[in-house]
Amino acid sequence: MPISEKREAVEDPLSNGALAVEQADIAALMEEALALCQETQSHWEQGDFDRALVAIDDAYALLLKMNPPSDSPLGDEKNDLRLNIAKRIQMLHAARFFPGHENNKTIPLVENRYVLAEIECFKNRERKYFEESFMRSGLYQGMIQEELRKAGLPEDLGWLPIIESGFKIRALSRARALGLWQFIASTASLYDLKRDRWVDERMDPVKSTRAAIRYLSSLHALFGDWTTALAAYNCGEYRVQRVINAQRINYLDNFWDLFPMLPYETARFVPRFIAALSIIKNPEKYGFKLPRPYPPLKFETMTVKRPVKLSALSAALGLDASELAFLNPELRYDATPDYAYELRIPAGLSDRTQKALLGLPRWIPPEVTTTIYIVRRGDTLSSIARRSRTSVSALKRLNNIKGTLIRPGQRLKVPGRRTAVNASAEG
């Protein structure tokens, strides 16, 4: 039944049951609108502006139908959706009216006092970090540069992970950003990085690089220059947009005009990146003799269709126990999933691996420990997932939910450590 028909079917809007249906309908509208936002992104990347405009117009039309109660957490989610839609409208406007920016191919290597201060940090107290990160970069730089060339983006962007993660593939920040390119969960979902019980593609170097390129392209289309786009990559486009709206200077001309008004970490992020680029391009000038980078990863792939523990496969192949896990960092259990998966293996080992797999047992993952959450008025799957540090898809899978509708009083399994929890315990 279409959403509009469901809403008309509510007989008594003052009853608790009707309110629950209304809340569920709003949550369903939000999920539909978010899906349209993703369609907008996809159409824009393909250069189909007309279809992108239709999708974002449809998302906005759904937004206008939402009227959550003032005390409902859905109000905050509606505001987030409004910002999401506004960002894409601005992105489409920039792409249509300011195509092919002159500064698309280069990142200005200014040498102001902020950049020089970061160079001094890398020369002194962060020297070991910088040199070790540079060494690790060799594992991935060839792949990253190739992806950037295919996308037509500045190859200098390939050094962004030296600031984000130190080229550590499983780096995790205090803000729960993960991987080489430090994606948070919500941005990862927007750029099609899969996260389920078995994998988290934020830790896959190739997949996360492609997602980062899409995200950076969107930010550049939105802001018009790379320094502002990089600031938005660090702290979010909404935060940078608010700073821009609060000033009276043409930000497209000079990023450094808004620099003092940005959050401290973001204010450092851009000059740190420029400082790193400056050192890498001319190490002798800044007193560096950079170490030799590690050689690039070499591997081939093969399809594995059942769960197999990587440590058992490594032992059967006579490999170091960590080698397969290092080549496949997105595997959360260090085991292949219960669906077809392209496993990376050392080059030249496909025949041996195929034979070894025949002798290995099916690996059974540990049972997921769950708690019971009692749904409260105004709850949605997305709000419960956010509080429980899990995903909507995980909640739907644990509770055998086909759609998105939940009702007050419903008992849901959520990932956790205790055996039960009630609504009051959640505060």
Of 112, 115, 161, nearest to 137 by C-alpha is 161
Catalytic residue among 164, 201, 237, 330: 164
Q: Are 373 and 326 in contact (CB under 8 A)?
A: no
User: Exposed e or buried b for every residue in 256-269, given b needs 16+ CB within 10 A?
Assistant: eebbeebeeebbbb
What is the C-alpha end-to-end distance of the chain, expressed in Å? 35
Catalytic: 164?
yes
Grouping H, G, I as helix, E, B as strand and the rest as coil, residue 299 is: strand
Q: Are 274 and 110 in contact (CB under 8 A)?
A: yes
Dihedral sign, CA of 127, 132, 136, 142? Answer: positive
Grouping H, G, I as helix, E, B as strand and the rest as coil, residue 110 is: coil
Contacts of 139 (CB under 8 A, 6+ apart): 167, 205, 293, 294, 295, 296, 297
Dihedral sign, CA of 286, 291, 297, 298? Answer: positive
Catalytic positions, please?
164
